[in-house]
A and B are shown apart, each in its own frame.
Chain A
Amino acid sequence: MKNAILTDIKMPFCPGCGHGVIVNSISKAFIELGYNPLDIIIVSDIGCSGLVDPLFATHTVHGLHGRAPALGLGVAMGLSNRNKKVIVIQGDGGATIGLQHLLEAARRNIDITLLVFNNLLYGMTGGQISGLSTDKFKELRQVEEGVPPFDIVRLAHQAGAVSSARVISPANFTESIKFAVETQGFTLLELASVCPSYGLQKIKELDDFSEEAEALLNYRKVNEVDYIETTSLLDKVEIIKGKFNAIVDERYGILLAGSAGGGIQLAAELLAKAGMLSGLYATMKGEYPVTVGTGFSIAEVILSRKPINYTGLDKPDVIFIMTEDGFVKANNLIKDDTMIIADDLLSITAKNIISKSFTKKVGKRSAVLSAISYWISQTNIISHDAFIEAIKPHKHAALLIKAIETPV
């Protein structure tokens, strides 16, 4: 048959299995809607429902247990084409293990249809109950679990599915599938099935052991993804030209040690850029706890006349200690010949220490800039002009420059 949705491969299911009824209903729905099989992508899961691939003459993608809604969503977002229909098929076991994917797909509301074949159990592994096994079925099987099943129709609805429904009577399958396929957005159908090997024997038993049929709608516009053109990140980076002098022979290591909110990372970046403006190579590394708004904040800067390979700072030439947090982190790196520039609010003793009123004079946010400025005035390692030039592009440049020009 031209445009047949199904191949002529024999159904792989056990005799009497309810899944065959659903497969035939899917085929009928697409034929009645007039679809070309190559406009359909069936994405299947693991378990008995995952045996469907060879039956369909459509594109097929056979994935992992529970993950098919995420995989199908990916296919739909990749195609981004209204004329293509992604149909995801999974069982009640798959819906249980992959519930997060199901809810996320409902929330995203991309145009896919998820069909959950609910035969109330894991058929492929021996009939274990699933998260969708109903209380009545568990009673029949004498499973005393004491917890209710997930109502995925309501969960999907709550998560934003445009349409979610539970259909018990196979007579309603084809029309329900047609409605789900033709509705734009995420649609879910829980379709009742039987498992003669481990569960219900006959389709007519479904009425007694399933949850009630129901259909829920959300009035939401379908989401689509757009692939947009962007510009190169390299167009946005600042080109820095060396135009100042610096007194650095080979490699000079600087450690800035303070606390979160103390402008340490910004100061380190500006210092590194000032080094580059002085014709030097520079590296900068920040370190802070994962909770970035509190605790220590450390930054390492290396300035060098030669290109820098190894970026570790094992022995800093100068350490700026702005706070107690910073001192705790920097303490073990202080050697006899290390120059220490510290805030005079701290009581630190070290051999080569200079303490000044940075925080008192300019406030804690700019104290480290003030300290760097002081260090420049004492050592001329880089020039004051280079530091000013590095600060200029910053949005609060005027404020920062005022801080470094305040005498301490």
Chain B
Amino acid sequence: METKSPNMVFTDASLLITEACVKAGADAFIGYPITPSNKFYSYGSKRFPLFLAGPDEITVLQWMAGLSAAGKFPVTATAFPGLALMAETFNMAYMMELPMLLIITQRLGPSTGSATTGAQGDLSFINGLISGGYPIPVFCPSNFEDAWKLTEESIRTAINLRTPVILLTSKEMVMTQKSFDISKLHEINKITNVNETIDLPYKTYKSGANYVPPFVAVGNEEHLVRLNSSTHDDDGMIQKNSPNALANTIRLKEKMEKRLNEYTFFEYDKQKDSKHLIVSYGISADASRDAVEEIRKNNHKISLLIVKTLLPVSEKITDIMDSYQQVIFVEENIGGQYKEIIYGKISRKNIKQVNKIGFMISPSDIIKAIAL
């Protein structure tokens, strides 16, 4: 007879992510129901200070942009069909520099595919979501602890970098219930911006050395705010291609990349003298953890890298990959989307891939493919 912990509960990551959102200071959940993000809708309606049922996904993201412009922090959760409809407005929010969080629960595609089957198939789309190839911060939880922590970090990043952020999950991550010790969860406090000093006269898009213009809500009585989805100068005035407006556009890329260290998260389980590295993320990470344990039991050497900030790709992550003779990418899609982002489509001798669709990748799939 043993008691593992006084705080074991049976729950799912949708609940943990919803709770973490509100604890971190999110004000509103704007929902449009879609499988497998439906638990977020249900929890969101009970927990957020404001819950609104949108009539379609385009409206959802437009309302969110409006709320964000007014100084509120909005959240939604969807799957690929909804994300596809949101693509235009996501670009708008990105250009306007409006903090918000999109939770994407991946399911099997293409198109409407299989709504109740998990997948890791949307990373390539998200990587190219912004016209011009600008980077979006994309976080990907690999277990319940991550679901809690990365939700907090998503909101922190959205606020500190003034940007929409994506939390990329999958059906298997947010619908599966697990026994979980909630005493492992750290306290999350309301997040406030770390870099808010306003130089006068206020200009909506004038940034200092940290690449991010201080955020002021529309409707305030001190500073005139001009938000603009079209190419604009520091004042938020529409421009064709003036030097100031182009510099402002390039800054959108710079702010993501120059401050990447603030929001790069990964888990690196290094085994000394190992020549092989498994790279995985999200729902394939746990199978990779189990596979690594099994491989080591059989006296082979193997290291494991679980990537939690998928985009933009940090050099910290590619440096680790570069230090191995062979890198094995484990992801539940057909092409190896994360692998492609880093190494391109061409196959290489030092790269192996474990891919599958329709079912989770199992530890034995990985062990078999590596064949040490």
Contacts and interface: CB of A to CB of B under 8 A. Distances in A.
Given A39-B221, A74-B63, A64 B88 contact: yes
Contacts, number: 238
Contacts of B7: 239
B10 A232 contact: no
Contacts of B4: 242, 279, 281
Nearest to B48: A230
Given A70-B58, A310-B360, A62 B227 contact: yes
B273 to A, nearest CB: 25
Contacts of B237: 53-54
Contact of A38 (B71, B172, B224): B224
A233 interface: yes
B3 A100 contact: no
A242 B67 contact: no
A312 B172 CA distance: 9
A61 B360 CA distance: 44
Given A53-B237, A78-B72, A41 B219 contact: yes
Interface of B: 1-4, 6-11, 15, 18-19, 22-23, 27-28, 35, 43, 46-50, 52, 55-56, 58-59, 62-72, 88-89, 92, 96, 115-116, 143, 172, 175-179, 182, 185, 217-222, 224-230, 232, 236-238, 286-287, 289-290, 359-360, 362-364
Contacts of B1: 242-245, 279
Given A63-B92, A104-B55, A239-B7, A84 B47 contact: no
A266 B4 CA distance: 24
Nearest to A272: B10
Interface of A: 36-39, 41, 43, 51, 53-54, 57-64, 67, 70-79, 81, 84, 100-101, 104, 225-230, 232-234, 237-245, 269, 272-273, 275-276, 279-290, 308-312, 314
B363 A75 contact: no
B62 A70 contact: yes
A73 B66 contact: yes
A62 B18 contact: no
A72 B230 CA distance: 17
B176 A74 contact: no
Contacts of B2: 242, 279
A228 B10 contact: no
Contact of B224 (A51, A59, A62, A234): A59
A290 B286 contact: no
Nearest to B72: A78
B177 A74 contact: no
Given A279-B2, A288-B116, A78 B226 contact: no
